[in-house]
DNA sequence: TACATATATTCGGATAATCGAATATAGTTT
DNA sequence: AAACTATATTCGATTATCCGAATATATGTA
């Protein structure tokens, strides 16, 4: 039985992954998991130019990973769903375990 | 206190996300979660040309998301860590919930 | 060895992502 | 309104990704 062709949900799913697929955006998400923050606060924390942070935040916003709220002239961004952090944490654990396995393989073959 | 600059782990983390960021690769992973499969079997299931499947599998292999094992002239691919499916499932749930929220927002404003 | 099957790779072109630099917009204060 | 602060956007160039088509490699078999 052939699978249905790539359906809409799968495209959206891939879009979410794409939004996560940048080291700066991952840092932004972890920073927002801590607490909501202004754009400038994020830029300073991560040592990035403000326009760069804004552009990354837009991408995260378009995927409904963060929300924004005005606070005077500033805009406060917050994480929309903390399960995204669980997702990132699990992925990181999978990655670390894979690296450990590879490292063991190397040792077992006398490459340590 | 400024964060450390983007460290190695974060780059690897982003690479994993990047590997997940394609609808065809997501389908491949779900298909392999079911059971290990040959390249051709995957290609037929997903109605994709064999070279396309091979290229996607290489990307997944490079990120240690799948492993391959020879079986005669065929090569059997399998999922390396099933937690990746948990990750994908949670992401999909987050996505569906976000879509539901958006849909409710539209209705509440008379756009239904 | 010759042939068949299964998988992997390369090439070229199209599409998309990212960044720095410059600039535009929105809200606040005087 | 003018000046200021915070945020967002655009532009142009660079780099990365993806695909179809063609081809190469590897294993098994006659």
Non-local CB neighbours of A63 within 8 Å, separated by 6+ positions: A15, A16, A19
Q: Are residues A38 and A75 in the same domain?
A: yes
Identify whether B56 is part of a domain.
yes
Non-local CB neighbours of B42 within 8 Å, separated by 6+ positions: B28, B31, B32, B48, B53, B57, B77
Chain segment A52-105, per-residue pLDDT in tens: 999 999 999 999 999 999 999 999 999 999 999 999 999 999 999 999 888 877
Only one residue has tokens 């396995």, namely A101
Identify whether A4 is part of a domain.
no
Distance (Å, whole) CA B41 – CA A23: 34
The answer to whether strand C lies under 7 Å from the CB of residue A38 is no
The answer to whether strand C lies under 7 Å from the CB of residue B68 is yes
Structural domains in chain B (count): 2
From the list A2, A16, A24, the residue facing B44 with the nearest CB is: A2
Q: Are residues A15 and A66 in the same domain?
A: yes
Query: Are B14 and A3 a contacting pair at CB < 8 A?
Result: no
Q: Are residues A32 and A14 in the same domain?
A: yes
Following CA atoms A101, B90, B26, B62 in sequence, which dihedral angle do they give, to the nearest 10 degrees?
A: -20
The separation, in Å, between residue B36 CA and nucleotide D14 C1' comes to 40
Enclosing domain of residue A102: 82-112
From the list A23, A90, A97, the residue facing B10 with the nearest CB is: A23
Chain segment A4-44, per-residue pLDDT in tens: 555 889 999 999 999 999 999 999 999 999 999 999 999 99
A31: closest CA of chain B, how far (Å): 9
């Amino acid at each position: 039985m052939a699978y249905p062709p790539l359906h809409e949900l799968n495209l959206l799913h891939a879009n979410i992954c794409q939004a996560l697929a940048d080291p700066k955006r991952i840092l932004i998400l972890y920073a927002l998991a801590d607490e909501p923050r202004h754009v400038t606060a994020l830029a300073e924390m991560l040592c990035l130019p403000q326009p760069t942070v804004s552009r990354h935040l837009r991408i995260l916003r378009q995927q409904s990973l963060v929300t924004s709220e005005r606070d005077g002239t500033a805009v406060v961004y917050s994480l929309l769903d903390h399960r995204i952090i669980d997702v990132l944490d699990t992925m990181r654990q999978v990655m670390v375990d894979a690296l450990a396995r590879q490292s063991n393989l190397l040792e077992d073959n006398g490459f340590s």
